[in-house]
A and B are shown apart, each in its own frame.
Chain A
Amino acid sequence: MYGAFPLIVGTLLVTLGAMIVAIPLSIGSAIFISEIATPKMKAAIKPAIELLAGIPSVVYGFFGLIVLTTWLRISFNQPSGESWLAGSLLLGIMAIPTITSVAEDAISSVPREFKEGSFALGATRWQTISKVIVPSALSGITAGIILGIGRAIGETMAVMMVCGNPTYGLIPTSITNVFAPIKTLTATLGIEMGEVAAGSNHYHALFGVALLLLIITLAVNIIATVILNRLKEKQRSPSKKKTRLSVSIKQQIRKTLVFTIIILCVVILLSSMGILLTVCIGLVVGAVYYLRKKVSAKTGQRIAFIAIAVAILTVIVILGVILAYIISNGAGALSWEFLSQGSSNLGRSGGIYPAIIGTLYLVSGAIAIALPLGVGAAIYLIEYTREGRLTKIIRAGADLLNGTPSIVFGLFGFAFFVLYLRMGFSLLAGQITIAFMILPTIIRTTEEALKSVPQSLREGSLALGATKWQTIKKVVLPPAAPGILTGAILGIGRAAGETAPIMFTAVVFSSFIPHSFVEPVNALPFHLYILATSIPNSARNQAGTALVLLLLVIGIYLVAVLLRNHYQKTMKW
């Protein structure tokens, strides 16, 4: 009755497609930002890409539903654009900022000595990049890709909005046809959880799906964490054993890559435009392989740099188009009335004041719960415990929660707070659920901030006879405060944009403003989701809501980025 196999296949196919889109573009962009861009370009592009990582998924989904699927339907003459391809393209775009940021960090942290050593031997810039820098940064780049995969697998709202979600996940049509609708694990939860009778077989099956999703994302995130940790250790102590290990990891990665490419070829071969595509890809690969030995180092560099420029331009254009579309369409709807009045006619007219207030209530409640808990936990971990098994377990737990899909938090909140604790759909249930979701971010950023305070400061204070708590309060926390604040702001940004965790715990589509913690609320992302998917003829207010949400979240992230940059400039130990 409730076999999850088609859903697993759906999730894997959509993710696979997303990675085909995202990996080349992200790595090209990362190389451009860290190795080719002038300092000024880098200063502009890097924070821009980081900001894009903060765009709420429901805004991406809105763009995908309105623009991308329509474009696909018309250009390829399909009955509907809601398809595997649409999901993959959209998820690919969403994964680009994540992969680019992590890969860029990895490439930038390759020691300058390697680069100089290579230049001194008469290598060109491209030879240096392709043969020394990228191989040295490979584990970091891989970790970035895996995090991107994790993000794609866990994404709910965007997938729900553009993949078509057929009632029966028909695997055969999906595998051979990129235009077929497809259903993922997350979308199943997002759609069916709202309609299911609590306690029924269907209800339990959905929790099975959630468990499956949790296991998959846990596995993905564990792999990323292990790779990143190994990278850190390697940078600290380049001992024999570990380097040899990393060599074998590289071979492993190479094998996996070859394997993936073979699978890809088979999948593409089977798909609707298979033969044509396969021939094209074959030609490109053949040409690259043939030309590699023939062209001079300089021509090779020119070709490679053109490819990289194309990658970064594509990323900038795609993201520019998304922003331009939302801003140009949303600006018309913006007015004082839109911001200050309730909605009418099912949100087709009137404003979004209740949704704005609801989002502010949810976010402030969540941060009020998560900040003291998270900062307390981090202080305990860093200042009061010895590094050992316990801290490792807590830290690993926080990391894993960090990668858990938000829909899983939503499901947990629904089952535990709404049903078991009988809170019902309420502001409080939503606040606690979001607080749980942002807790790991706050713990980790606070930990990093505390760790960056030099040990000598603590020793200096203790040597003057201060107690441990006095030292923490007066010496450690003040310089760590900007870092902690940055973490809190990132948490707020994430909380404001998420839909999945509140969908089953707190929100109703209404113009209702709650007067107590036990009443339900409306929220901006949810309002946008319902308008875009269920209310026809509401285009104007959809775009307006998307713009307000986008400005709110980007504004929050901008504050965090500026704060961090300021902090990095002024605090030098």
Chain B
Amino acid sequence: MANKVVIKTEQLNLWYGEKQVLYDISMEMLSNKITALIGPSGCGKSTLIRCFNRMNDVIPTCRITGHVFFDDNDIYGPDADAVEVRKKIGMVFQKPNPFPKSIYENVAYGPRVSGVNNKDSLDEIVEKSLRDAALWDEVKDRLFESAMGLSGGQQQRLCIARSLSIEPEVILMDEPCSALDPIATAKIEDLMTELKKRYTVIIVTHNMQQAARVSDYAAYMYLGKLIEFGETEQMFEDPHEELTEKYITGRFG
């Protein structure tokens, strides 16, 4: 299967107030692959991933120049609608953030806000999403209990299920395992490999081993600039840039 370009950025610059956070980022991300954004804290990787579904719109002082194309449509173009973009590009956050509602309602929320109100369709979507997120067997008997009672790893898989519920094309994951223990992390990583069969996955991680284990492509960022971008294997075995090599061999950062 040929992989097409799903998300492409061109000369992307971003400022928070006066402070420039991203400099001239140009990169392409392929469908059905996992692309990892790596780099030391504060390098702008989380900011970059939040550009892909316009989550930075929530921050009032944020200003952007350049383009982000999703399936060849500029998501910052004059006709683009952030709400529509986010229906196509889902996101899982660093800290699990289930709503203070029942497990069922958490997953049904996305379809509901997109206008699905039929009980049977909702039931079907909830079950399918939870199965796809490998959570169904653990929660099927307590769907109507509060999501706040789940463990951290379960909450994060619930958030993944929630983002699958509206059938996006891309799933963005912003350090999805940083708040989890190793066992929960392993489950999420397995899940990612499973998910890339049907979705495009972009993940931010500060864990080098995780990037090496799960990703097909890796982008190394430093101080808001894209230093190196290529196949993960090549980048970890024979990086082109000295900065990248220093970082992945642990000599800095």
Q: Which residues of A contact B (CB under 8 A)?
A: 38-39, 111-124, 127, 131-132, 135-136, 238-240, 243-244, 246-247, 293, 296-297
User: DSSP majority for the B interface?
Assistant: mixed
B230: interface (CB < 8 Å)? no
Complex Cα gap A39–B61 (Å): 10
User: Is the Cβ of A117 less than 8 Å from the Cβ of B162?
Assistant: yes
User: Is the Cβ of B146 less than 8 Å from the Cβ of A124?
Assistant: no
Nearest B residue (CB) for A121: B110
What class of interface size applies to chain B in its complex with A? 35 or more
Known: A124-B83, A240-B148. A131 touches B100 (CB 8 A): no
Complex Cα gap A312–B141 (Å): 45
Known: A113-B97, A118-B99, A119-B58. A243 touches B113 (CB 8 A): no
User: Is the Cβ of A116 less than 8 Å from the Cβ of B145?
Assistant: no
Q: Which residues of the other chain, A, contact B95 by a CB distance below 8 angstroms?
A: 113
Known: A243-B146, A243-B149, A293-B117. A117 touches B100 (CB 8 A): no
The total of Cβ contacts below 8 Å across the A-B interface reads 93
Complex Cα gap A256–B252 (Å): 61
Cβ contacts A to B, 5 pairs, < 8 Å: A38-B60, A117-B159, A118-B99, A120-B86, A297-B113
Complex Cα gap A297–B98 (Å): 22
Nearest A residue (CB) for B88: A122
User: Is the Cβ of A122 less than 8 Å from the Cβ of B100?
Assistant: no
Known: A115-B58, A117-B159, A131-B113. A122 touches B146 (CB 8 A): no
Known: A132-B99, A243-B148, A297-B115. A119 touches B93 (CB 8 A): no
Q: Which residues of the other chain, A, contact B99 by a CB distance below 8 angstroms?
A: 114, 117-118, 132, 136
B90: interface (CB < 8 Å)? yes
User: Is the Cβ of B93 less than 8 Å from the Cβ of A113?
Assistant: yes
B200: interface (CB < 8 Å)? no
Complex Cα gap A116–B94 (Å): 11
Known: A238-B148, A244-B146. A122 touches B97 (CB 8 A): no
Complex Cα gap A114–B146 (Å): 15
**Closest CB-CB distance, B84 to chain A, in whole Å?**
7
Complex Cα gap A424–B90 (Å): 74
B122: interface (CB < 8 Å)? no
B229: interface (CB < 8 Å)? no
Complex Cα gap A120–B52 (Å): 11
User: Is the Cβ of A120 less than 8 Å from the Cβ of B53?
Assistant: yes
Complex Cα gap A238–B95 (Å): 14
Complex Cα gap A114–B101 (Å): 11
User: Is the Cβ of B162 less than 8 Å from the Cβ of A122?
Assistant: no
Quick one: which of B65-111 are within 8 Å of A by CB? Answer: 83-84, 86-88, 90-91, 93, 95, 97-102, 109-110
Q: Which residues of the other chain, B, contact A117 by a CB distance below 8 angstroms?
A: 93, 97-99, 159, 162
